[in-house]
Structure formats: structure tokens, C-alpha cells
Structure 1
Amino acid sequence: MSDLVNRAVGRRTFVLGSAAAAGTAALAGPLAGSASAASFGWSDDGSNYVVDTGASLVFKVSKTNGDLTSLVYKGTEYQGYGGMNSHIESGLGASTVTLAQSGTTILISVTHGTLKHYYAARSGENNVYLWTNKADTSVSATRYIVRVKAGLFLNDEPDSYTYAPTTIEASDVFEKSDGQTRSKHYSKLRVADYDYIGWSTGSVGLYVVRSNHEKASGGPFYRSLLRHQSSGGGGLYEILYYGENQTEAQRFGLQGPYVIAFTDGGAPSSALYHANLTTSWADSLGISGYVAASGRGRVAGVGISGRNTAYAYTVGLANSTAQYWASARSSDGYFAIGGVLPGTYTLTVFKGELAVYTGSVTVTAGGTTTLNTIAIPSSNDPSNASAIWRINDWDGTPGGFKNAALMTYAHPSDVRAASWTGNVVVGSGTETSAFPCYLWKDVNSGIVVYFKLTAAQAAAAHTLRIGVTTAYANGRPQVVVNDTWTSAVPSPPSQPSTRSLTVGSYRGNNHTFTYSVPASAWLTDTGAYNTLKIYVASGSGSTSFLSAGTSIDAIDLLT
């Protein structure tokens, strides 16, 4: 049965799906389950299990290593490039592969040491459901990659390097002849921002619909590579654990289902989205680590007080075994998080991406834990502190600063970036837009902020605060006031040790540096500008945009 389409996209386009598209998604997946599928079934060609979904999709799984060796949709082969298959990580190697059919479901099970991986097909659907259970670190299984033949879905997007032959960083960041940059890292999106990734020609769509990421790490605002496209072929990823710019330890257990979905060009069905997908049909399949809906619980909060209504708020749950999150309702802060594994979790309320409240909540199987109104203490939001001046507002992101929007999908050297240098004048009205979102030791260290003080203000000591969202190579700010007072070099906070600022991510651990500036540091002439010079201190890093650096959230001088 072909999918019904209510949205088409043109040739040479790509799709990164968000929850906002759910209401207009094309019918596919579970909604096609009632179709007549006389050819549904499986066979053994000697090397592979061959599964015909009874719709328009036939796929093969290797009996020796569990690779997905073929994806034929409406007679066209989509799988593979460079002689490689679709698989966990770069392939598991020798594995035990078995197949079982239960009514209208076929399940292929792959066992490689302590790792178990599964493919499931449902009669009449153009979907492949996948689960991966990683029990420990003995197997390097951090992703599933769907490798797609070259030329089927062409594009020139941030995560495409088809037209970018010049390598400018490592082996994965490229520059086009026009100075724009491309990399598989440049997805633009946080985990919370998308439900599916993929491409469409207008008549065929190929997507990976992500899982709920309950066993992933990094929280709702984490960014990692999602997709790539080059002259050699394309790749769609479900990242189960990614170590780059990672803020949390790896979690273990069953992750999924995530879904490889074909459509007639429209978006995958919203019924496949992790928030909507029901898999009662898988309850009795014997999938290792599988927990049915009846074995899960729910958390609901009646509201959140003390919010700044100019910002979106997110509520997250996390412990060492699982993570979940949901948006708080803008009108009153109501939230609900379902499908939660039993256990005790740290509950965090985020203003934007800045944690402003933490608590604890216990979830039981089959139950709903109802929370009274959560009151955010005024002191927990740094924006509530009285300030003489403030550059940007505190929300845990560099949003609003110069080049901030571009940096989630481009390299700092990109021709579209405004100059990383230049001074800032408080009171000019351009303080935020003139201040660079990132500071590097070898690029723009020593940026100057000019500001005036009244006589009363200049007669007193003040606290200067600089908020950061991540750092590379232990880069942290050291300040000099009026070339007469120099702060100590602060200790570096805990931050990821990998690349971040050059691969599209500012998400690390939010940290606030405070500096107690004595009254003697200020100018007594109220008509003169005081100067604040912000340097990046670190003995690590290399040069240019890979020198020690940091991402800025906000800067203020308190009263």
C-alpha cells in the first residue's frame, strides 16, 4: 500500500522534522497496518534473511554479521555506498542472527557479545523498526548509520559536503569555493528540536525517525551529527551515544525503537514519532530489555511559578539509567512526561537552556506522580539580580550575540561570519549584537567593553559576572579593568574535552565566573569610559579557532 501524501518537497531537498510538523505529516507506518499484504513474509537467500513487508519495501539482513545489506523501495535499491552496508557503528562483525515470525510481525535478532540488536517488520508498512541494547563498554556501539547510495538525494545543505572539496579542519569540516563551510556536524538542531531526519525527492522520502533517547546522554539540548551527504553517498544516523562535547556518562540498556521509514515524498507519519508511537505489538517478542507501557510511569506538574514568560521552559528527568524531558506550558508551566521507567530522578527546570531549579521525583510502574506547583526561587535566575549594566540575558545559550545563530551550522571561519573582533560600548544599543558569541585565545582575546559609572557607583566595589555555556581546551575568562586591576586566573570548570565551538555546538556545562572588582579599579571621572578587557586564559589548545576558547551566555556588572 502506498503512503498518502499531504506535503511534497522538491528535488534536491532535505528534511529535518520537528514536532511542529506532526499535524500535517503524511499517513504511513502504523496507520498502514490494516492494508492487505498478501506477499508479506520472509525467505533465506543463503547469505541474508530477506523480508518483504507486503507494501513497497523489501530489505535484507546479513545472517553472519547483522548488517542491513539491502533496502529496495518500489524496485529501487537505496542501501549502501563505498562497499559498505548499514549497521551499528562500523559493523559488528561475526554475530548470531536469528529470525522469528509472530503473526503480522517479523523480528530479526542480532547478538554480538553482550550487545543485542533487532530489526522488525510489520505487514503492510514501509518501515523497519530497530532496537539496540548495549549492556556495557565491551562493544563500541554508539550509532546506527543508514548508508544511502549516491545520487538519489542530492543537496547542498550545512551537513552536506558534496560541493565542498577543501578540508579546513580535521577530516570532516570543509570549505566551498565561495567561502561557505560544510560538515556532517552542522545539523543546526538539538535533540529536542526534531522527530525525524532524512531526504525527499518529492516522490520518495527516506527518513530515520528517532527514538525517545531515554538511554542516550546529554539531555534535551544536546547536539550531534544527524546526517551527511557527499558525492560518495549519504548517511542518516540514530546516535545512541556520542562522545563529542558530551556532558554526561554513557547510559546502557535498550534504546528504541527508531524507525527507517519510506514515504511517497511526504513526511513520515506522526504516529511514528517517539511521543506518539505505541508498540504493544512488540510486548511479547522477547526483545532484551524491553519494558512495555504497563511497566512505565508518568510525571505531571500542575505548574511552575517564578518563570520569566519571555522564555520557553523545559522540564527534564535524569538519573544514571534514563533521561526524559517535556516542554512546560507557556501559560502556567504545566508539564507532563510519560513513558518513564520506574526509579528516582533528578528533576531540572530549564529557563531556555539554563537550569534554574532542581528537585527529586520518584516514578512507579503504572502510576502518575503528581507534583504541586514548582516555585523557582528568585535567586536561582541570575537575570533577577540588580545590575548596573548587562550584556545579553541569562538563558544558558549565546543566542543574541554576534554570530551565534550561524555557529550551529557553520565553521567560525565561514565567509558569512561577521568579524570576531571589535569593541563593545554599553549604552550604545548594540552591546549584545556587537559582542562575539565565542572568545578564543588566538582570535579575539582581549575584547574591550566600554562603560560609564556614576560617582556613587564608582565609589563602591562591584561583582562582575561572566556566564559561559562550554569551553574548549580549558579556555576561561580573565579580566582587566582600566589597565590597573587584573583578576586572578580562575580555575577551569568541568567541561567536555572534545571539539565543540567549531563543530556546531555551544552546549557544555553552564558556569558563572564571578570577579570582585574593588572600588579602586574604577575611574572617578563620570564622563570617562571605564574599560573591561576580557582575555581567554589557558595553557592548552593549538592555534586560531582551535586555540582555547569559550562560549558566552551573559555578562553583567551588579549594583
Structure 2
Amino acid sequence: MSGSAPGPVRRRTFVLGSAAAAGSVALAGASASTASAASFGYTDDGSNYVINTGANLILKVSKTNGDLTSLLYRGTEYQGYGGKNSHIESGLGTSTVTIKQSGSTILVSVAHGTLKHYYAARSGENNVYLWTNKADTSVSATRYIVRVKAGKFLNDEPDSYTYAPTTIESADVFAKSDGQTRSKHYSKHRVADYDYIGWSAGNVGLWMVRSNHEKASGGPFYRSLLRHQSADGGGLYEILYYGENQTEAQRFGLQGPYVIAFTDGGAPSSSLYHGNLATPWADSLGISGYVAAGGRGRVAGVGISGRDTAYAYTVGLANSAAQYWGSAGSSDGYFSIGGVLPGTYTLTVFKGELAVHTTSATVAAGGTTTLNTITVPSSNDPSNGKAIWRIGDWDGTPSGFKNAALMTYAHPSDARAAAWKGNVVIGSGSETSAFPAYIWKDVNSGLLVYFKLSAAQAAAAHTLRIGVTTAYANGRPRVTVNDWVSAIPSPPSQPSTRSLTVGSYRGNNHTFTYSVPAAAWLTDTGQYNVLKIDVVSGSGTTAYLSAGTSIDALDLLA
């Protein structure tokens, strides 16, 4: 397809994570045809190392800076737009670049100060394997971007801005003429939700297959940009530390492999997925920081009791050096997390995205740490608190609230969003769906919740709880109950960057509690008590960038 196509070409888009979606894909994985493997090898054209994989892919790596300067697949060039190449960050600059062939593998090593980066090509494969070893903060973030020529995979997905000429926030959020919003941030997906990202156009698929993210930050529920597409070109990302909406300090060390994969139009082979990929061929390549499978261990738990079976549970492992996670079985909570670097980890049990239990686990190389049944104390799950009324449920997300689903792939000003204002009546049957997922100081602060109490309930003090999942500009709720006004709560620790407007509600879950005295309630049981929720903060700007917060749940305890 020509890069000068006049309009959008609507293509199948894969942002899934299941092996079933992959199917049988020619030339996608290690089992790819090796019919032309006799041409496998590399040359030096003076400026680049030119690698022929012996399949349908020829790639070039700059000898000066380690940029990926060409991805020639079946005779068509896919790499590059705007005079820019594919690389770490926006390019490393002058680097030491070397190449070595070891049997059926060619490895390009790039050294830039303390950072080391690697490209590997395998005979007969249409894949490029990448590793990045970041030792310190001399490189600000950890991002690899594959820049793709214009016109190859045009689309009009949420993370595209081909048809969005109006800039509505910063220089990266746009609006179409119909009021729908577009941004590279609007991927919809948490890290745990996908194995690969990319595009398909006829008989060509181009994919970024993610790594296990053991050196990334933010855990399984972190959201970041995964790709972008515009009339100028497209980008596929492997982002390990971006500095946006981060809840943890960045981790250092070798990360990978992540894989640039070409296919005949289908999804990449499931053999490339981080949970399946085996790289014994890389064990002896001398990659800095590389730890082979035999130097890693596993954590397995026989079960988790005290679960709410209406929710999915995830088990996470984290320390300052690495992070991992795995799903708990729906029937018994069994979990198994493999490929773990040796060390002692904090083990966290998540109900949805809400941490409900922590313990520790120590992993040894080559061994399996088996844990007996983990019991989640009833008091650790706020859903177990007996409530007079509750809006939403405690799962660490704004799921079910008004506009919640849309906000993972659209700006709050999007034409598809329901009005952010609107009050709620307890007992109406639509309490959760009518309550907004986000509250901003400058948009919908002053929300009202109407509720009645029995005489016995009105005769006692009660605790009001409001759970949040993140906040922007220190936004936090101050409440008024009839004539009683709470103190202004202190702001909890939250990321300082944009979140609510770039598709992410993921920050640090926090519960605000308010002790409401009996004197605050109305004594007439036929009248509605009125709860008013205001967002307070001295920070932020205006509209959707004023101080705001994302809601997990709120309730009045009995």
C-alpha cells in the first residue's frame, strides 16, 4: 500500500492478550519458515549494520547512535517518519555500536554512557528482539518507539489523531469535528491486559510484543501510551518508565526481550508472548544484566480464602529491583508466578485493583516458593463494612460510575460523555450509574447525595467513607452534611502529573473517613438528609485540569 494514500484505511487492530487470538501465523515466531535462511547474515554499508534475517526482513542499525534506521519487510520500507528513526527515547546520540554473529543469532550492542541497548535477529525469523539496560537516571525515561511510515496502517481508533484537527489539551489531546477526542494516551489497556500492540493491513502485520515489565514501575494496572497514529506516521511503544502518573520509583537493570514482529497480517505468534518466550539462545550472548531461566525462581500459592468471588483477584510481587504478577484462580485462588529474579518481595493480593492483603515471599534461583493458603482478613476489604447505604463497590476502580468506562479512552470533554453534573438520591436504583466517576473543583464540585435515615440511625454518629483511586493537583473531598461541615482532609500521596485527562484513574487508592456526629442528622425521618461533596485544593488550573479526584466507592456505615 502506498504511503500517499489519500484517506484512512480501516484495518483490523489487535490489542489483545490471548493465545487464541494469535492463531496460526506464518513467519511470526521461532518456527517461521527458514526457506531463505541461506542469506542470513550482516554487512556494513559504512553508516549502518545491515542484517538480513534470511526470512522476509532486512533491518539496519546506525553505527553512530544505535538507531534502528530501516525495517524492510518483503521489499517495503516501514521504518521512520518526519526524518526520525526508531530508538530509545528520542535517540541516544553518539554511541558505541558493535555487532557479532553467534551461530543463528546476530546481536547488535549499543553503549551510551551507562545505558546499554541490544538488538538481536534470528535466522529465518521476521522478528527483532530488543533488550534495554538502564543503570541510572542519565536517560530520563525508558521508552522505545518504533516509528512507522505514514499511510501504512492508518486508522481512526482512540489512540489515533488522524482526523482530530483541534488541540484541546497540551499538545497531545485532540478533538474531531464530531466532538470525539483522540490522543496517543488513549490505549484503553492496563499493562496486564495485553501482550502485543500494533496494526494489520492486508497481508502485513506489524506488532510490538511487550516484555514482562519486571523492571517497569506501576504494577499490573498501570496505564500508559502504547501506540499512536496520524497522517504523519505511527508509533509503537514499549514503555517501562515514562514519568507520567507513576506510583513507584523507577527500577533499573536489564529489561527484555520485547519484540518487533512482522507477520502475514495475523497476530504475532503466542510463542513470543512474555509468558511463553524462551530465549536459551541468548544465554551466552554476553548481554549485560541478563539472567537465564535457570537463575530465576517461582512463587506458587495453593489458594486464597476470604475472597469475594464476584471479583477477579491478582497477586503481585514487588521490591525495589523487580515486579511481577499473576491471576488467582476463580475457584480457589491458586496462583503461580514464574521467571522471578531471586530476592525477597512484598506479596500483595488485589481484589480488582484494591490491595486487600500483603505479606512477603522469598525467591531462590531454580526453586519454587510454595505458600500455604493466604487468608484475607474480613476487615481488610471495606466492602465487608455494614453500610446504611453504599454507592459503587470497593474494588480500587471507578467501575460502574458515570463515564468510567469511557475515560480510559477519551477526554472528559468528549461529546460521548454524559453530563458530569447531577445529583443522586439513595433508593433510586441508579445511585452508582448516576454518580460521576471523577469530580473536579472547577467542573462538578458540590455534588449532592440525598438520603433518609430511620429514627434509630439518626440518633447515632456514623462514619462516612469516600474511597479514591487517584487525584490531580491534590484534589480531595470535603463534605457537608446538612449544616455540619467537615475539616479539610490532608492530601494523600498521589502522582503529580496528569491522569484523569489522559486515560488513567490509576494512582494510590486512599480512603477518606469522616466522623459525622448525631447532631448533624435531621430528626424528621420523612425528610432527606443532604450530603454535599466539594473538591478542595489550592492547586490546579481550570476546567478538567483543575484539582480533581477519581472515585472508588462511598458509603455511610451503620
Q: TM-score range by the shorter chain?
A: over 0.9
Amino acid corresponding to residue 204 of structure 2 in structure 1? V
Contact 2:32 2:125 in 1 (8 A): yes
Q: CA deviation at 1:169?
A: 0.2
CA distance in 2 between counterparts of 1:532 and 1:240 reads 42
For 2:467, the equivalent position in structure 1 comes to: 467
Amino acid corresponding to residue 285 of structure 2 in structure 1? L
Matches within 5 A, 1:232-381: 232-381=232-381
Q: Secondary structure at the match of 1:38?
A: helix
What's the TM-score, normalizing by structure 2? 0.97
Relative to structure 1, the CA distance from residue 534 to residue 11 in structure 2 (aligned partners, 3 Å threshold; closer, same or farther) is closer
CA distance in 1 between counterparts of 2:351 and 2:468 reads 15
For each residue in 1:56-79, what CA deviation from the matched residue of structure 2 results, as whole angstroms up to 9, or x when unmatched? 000000000000000000000000
For each residue in 1:291-322, what CA deviation from the matched residue of structure 2 results, as whole angstroms up to 9, or x when unmatched? 00000000000000000000000000000000
Runs of 5+ unmatched residues, structure 2:
1-8
Contact 2:22 2:266 in 1 (8 A): no
CA distance in 2 between counterparts of 1:166 and 1:329 reads 46
Matches within 5 A, 1:498-537: 498-537=497-536
Q: CA deviation at 1:17?
A: 2.5
Q: Secondary structure at the match of 2:31?
A: helix
Contact 2:34 2:54 in 1 (8 A): no
Q: Secondary structure at the match of 2:13?
A: strand
Q: CA deviation at 1:339?
A: 0.2
For 2:6, the equivalent position in structure 1 comes to: none
For each residue in 1:95-114, what CA deviation from the matched residue of structure 2 results, as whole angstroms up to 9, or x when unmatched? 00000000000000000000
CA distance in 1 between counterparts of 2:264 and 2:231 reads 24
CA distance in 2 between counterparts of 1:230 and 1:294 reads 44
Moved more, 546-555 or 20-29: 20-29
Q: Secondary structure at the match of 2:544?
A: helix
For 1:555, the equivalent position in structure 2 comes to: 554
Q: Secondary structure at the match of 2:298?
A: strand
Q: Secondary structure at the match of 2:379?
A: helix
Q: Secondary structure at the match of 2:407?
A: helix
Q: CA deviation at 1:34?
A: 5.8
Matches within 5 A, 1:173-188: 173-188=173-188
Q: CA deviation at 1:138?
A: 1.5
For 1:172, the equivalent position in structure 2 comes to: 172
For each residue in 1:146-167, what CA deviation from the matched residue of structure 2 results, as whole angstroms up to 9, or x when unmatched? 0000000010000000000100
CA distance in 1 between counterparts of 2:323 and 2:36 reads 39
Contact 2:208 2:258 in 1 (8 A): yes
Q: CA deviation at 1:36?
A: 5.4
Contact 1:448 1:532 in 2 (8 A): yes
Q: CA deviation at 1:21?
A: 3.7
Contact 1:109 1:118 in 2 (8 A): yes
Q: CA deviation at 1:242?
A: 1.3
CA distance in 2 between counterparts of 1:52 and 1:17 reads 30
Contact 2:97 2:110 in 1 (8 A): yes
For 1:444, the equivalent position in structure 2 comes to: 444
Moved more, 26-35 or 298-307: 26-35
Contact 1:33 1:123 in 2 (8 A): no
Runs of 5+ unmatched residues, structure 1:
1-9
Amino acid corresponding to residue 521 of structure 2 in structure 1? W
Q: Calculate percent identity across the aligned residue pairs.
A: 84
Q: CA deviation at 1:31?
A: 1.9
CA distance in 2 between counterparts of 1:136 and 1:35 reads 43
For 2:540, the equivalent position in structure 1 comes to: 541
For each residue in 1:384-417, what CA deviation from the matched residue of structure 2 results, as whole angstroms up to 9, or x when unmatched? 0100000011000000000000000000000000
CA distance in 1 between counterparts of 2:22 and 2:49 reads 36
Q: CA deviation at 1:141?
A: 4.3
Amino acid corresponding to residue 282 of structure 1 in structure 2? A
Q: CA deviation at 1:30?
A: 1.3
Q: CA deviation at 1:11?
A: 4.5
For each residue in 1:419-444, what CA deviation from the matched residue of structure 2 results, as whole angstroms up to 9, or x when unmatched? 00010001100000000000000000
Contact 1:134 1:141 in 2 (8 A): no
CA distance in 2 between counterparts of 1:415 and 1:139 reads 39
CA distance in 1 between counterparts of 2:392 and 2:34 reads 54
Contact 2:34 2:55 in 1 (8 A): no
Q: CA deviation at 1:136?
A: 0.6
